[in-house]
């Protein structure tokens, strides 16, 4: 599982190859990365401050692993507009009382917004399988 890592590494190709090398034949790799919409919701300054060096499209992420022999089992956007807006408030203010209210709302919104087509998303999640 590589969650929110690849956007931070300087040598992406090397990092991907190292992860794949450690994966056993038939092994599954779960990956999460930000999309190009991420800075639009969280702000360019926040995006740079947390060290994002790159963003991905579904096609770019898929290609990154399929060109190295992995098969895509599942790939989809998963953090949508309303969830992203609430997340930005969550990160910006970081108040305990506000976070107690926002956390359950974020979980609920994440579930429901998945069923609304065409919403911009800030994250992509994928599962890849090592086939050879």
What does the DSSP assignment read for the chain? -EES-TTT-S-HHHHHHHHHHHSPTT-EEEEEEEBTTHHHHH-HHHHHHTT----B-HHHHHHHHHTTTEEEEEEEEEEEHHHHHHHHHHHHH--HHHHHHHHHHHHHHHHHHTTSTT--EEEEEEEEEE--
Which among 3, 42, 13, 8 has a CA at the least distance from the CA of 126?
A: 3
Which pLDDT belongs to residue 15? 97
* Tens of pLDDT, residues 79-121: 656 665 666 666 666 656 666 666 676 666 666 666 666 667 8
Over range 6-24, report the average pLDDT. 97
Which pLDDT belongs to residue 31? 95
Which pLDDT belongs to residue 107? 63
Which pLDDT belongs to residue 41? 80
Instruction: Compare 3 and 62 and report the one with higher pLDDT.
Output: 62
* Tens of pLDDT, residues 20-49: 999 999 999 999 999 998 898 888 988 898
Over range 121-130, report the average pLDDT. 91
pLDDT at 127 over 90: yes
Q: How far apart are CA 127 and CA 68, in angstroms?
A: 14
Which among 91, 98, 75 has a CA at the least distance from the CA of 38?
A: 91
For the CA atoms of 56, 32, 21, 59, what is the dihedral angle to 10 degrees? -30
Question: How much is the pTM?
Answer: 0.76
């Amino acid at each position: 599982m590589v969650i929110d890592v690849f956007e931070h590494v300087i040598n992406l190709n090397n990092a991907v190859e190292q992860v794949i090398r450690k994966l056993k034949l038939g092994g599954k790799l779960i990956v999460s990365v930000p999309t190009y919409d991420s800075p639009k919701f969280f702000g360019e300054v926040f995006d740079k401050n947390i060290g994002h060096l790159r963003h991905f499209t579904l096609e770019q992420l898929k290609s990154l692993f399929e060109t190295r022999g992995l098969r895509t089992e599942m790939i989809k956007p998963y953090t949508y507009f309303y969830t992203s807006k609430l997340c930005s408030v969550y990160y910006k203010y970081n108040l305990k009382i506000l976070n107690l209210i926002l956390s359950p709302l974020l979980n609920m919104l994440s579930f429901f917004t998945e069923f609304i087509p065409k919403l911009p998303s800030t994250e992509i999640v994928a599962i890849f399988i090592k086939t050879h």
